[in-house]
Amino acid sequence: DEGKAFGFSFDASTLKIDYSVAQQRSRQVSGRLVKGVGFLMKKNEVDVIEGTAVIRSATQVAVGDRVLNTRNIIVATGARPRSVPGVTIDGQTVISSREALEMTQLPASVIVIGAGAIGVEFASVWNSYGVDVTLVEMLPTVLPLEDADIGNELEKALKKQKINVRTGTRVEKVNAAGGKVTLTVTKDGTTETLTADKALMSIGVAPNSENIGLEAVGVKTERGFISVDERMRTNVPGIYAIGDVTGKLALAHVASAQGIVAAEAIAGKEVEALNYAKMPRCVYCHPEVASVGLTEAQAIEQGYAVKTGQFPFRANGKALGLDDYEGFVKIVADTEYNELLGVHIIGPHVTELIAGPTGMLRLEATLEELARTVHPHPTLSEVIMEAAHVALGEAIHI
């Protein structure tokens, strides 16, 4: 029954795959959440006015012919998918994540441009539904902003799943014609042509900060992203900004946290500044990836003398029981105080495991405190404790 909800079923002994079932379910879940937010707005007496808004001043917003007077303004206009210079996202052959979410029928082949979180997630999902996927990344590893060991491990896993991973490969030209897309790419001085039914552009986002009145009132931006302080205030008194339009971290939970900070600041409450370096990051591919804090390279670059500890899921009883034991946890700590600097995990259900390490980093916990925190057995979470033991030179189970 669970498989049917995602479009997998059997006709006699033949496996049938219907991606439209999974897509419809995803939109139903999204719609339910949107309705829930609408209910909360109504419950808390928040007026929702639909339309295109323009900031007239720090105390006025125009929505069509209507002018709203206010004491404070919060800009939360988000961001949109960015494209390679000179390449137009036409929504048909060259698509963004928005069109990708709306597709009910999958093409036979896709080239994914950019192996960040969005690119890797779509590549993983589409591959599982039988699409021939090529993943192109200009930098040396997939998930290039994550720890290199994690990126290398994920690349091996994706290749094992028959995804054609092309790292260190630069896209020189994209040509969409005749219902196909052709890429000219280069690697190590060698030029090659790649062809597919569609190309997904997943190289980052651009802020939605144009044509909303920011320039007229003097709000400061940097590369289009709105500059804010620790209270989410812009340089114009009374105007705040949150979410992707601030250019901090394009993550839903970060935007939510920023929203709380802005609301509390407006209410005159004491505000705790957000530490973006200790925000959890999750990638919903297979195997999953989750991390918080500094990578090993970042820690060294910031002047730390570091020690690391790794523990594999193949030595974890719960992972073996699930028959899903690819991956490992890697802990980065400083050598002076053994303070945790970063926790990076790749493996089964790891997006559910990262909240604990996030709390420990926030509280500046040490390797000893993590290693001596008893973790329940048998659980996947034990790998985190075990990695701390490894970093301390006290490993028992490996």
**3-state SS string for the chain:** CHHHHCCEEEECCEEEECHHHHHHHHHHHHHHHHHHHHHHHHHCCCCCCCCCEEEEECCEEEECCEEEECCCEEECCCEEECCCCCCCCCCCCEECHHHHHHCCCCCCEEEEECCCHHHHHHHHHHHHCCCEEEEECCCCCCCCCCCHHHHHHHHHHHHHCCCEEECCCEEEEEEEECCEEEEEEEECCEEEEEEECEEEECCCEEECCCCCCHHHHCCCEECCEECCCCCCECCCCCEEECHHHHCCCCCHHHHHHHHHHHHHHHCCCCCCCCCHHHCCEEECCCCEEEEEECCHHHHHHCCCCEEEEEEEHHHCHHHHHHCCCCCEEEEEEECCCCEEEEEEEEECCHHHCCHHHHHHHHCCCEHHHHHCCCCCCCCCCHHHHHHHHHHCCCCCCC
Q: Strands 8-11, 14-17: parallel, antiparallel or unpaired by DSSP?
A: antiparallel
The burial class, CB within 10 Å (0-12 / 13-18 / 19+), for 296 is: buried
In sequence order, what are the beta bridge partners of 342?
Answer: 293, 332
377 catalytically annotated: yes
Q: Are 181 and 199 in contact (CB under 8 A)?
A: yes
CA-based nearest residue to 344, from 379, 305, 392, 297: 297
Q: Are 274 and 343 in contact (CB under 8 A)?
A: no
Of these residues, 344, 377, 389, 397, which one is catalytic? 377
- Phi-psi sector, 194: left (phi>0), alpha (psi -120 to 50), beta: beta
Catalytic positions are: 377
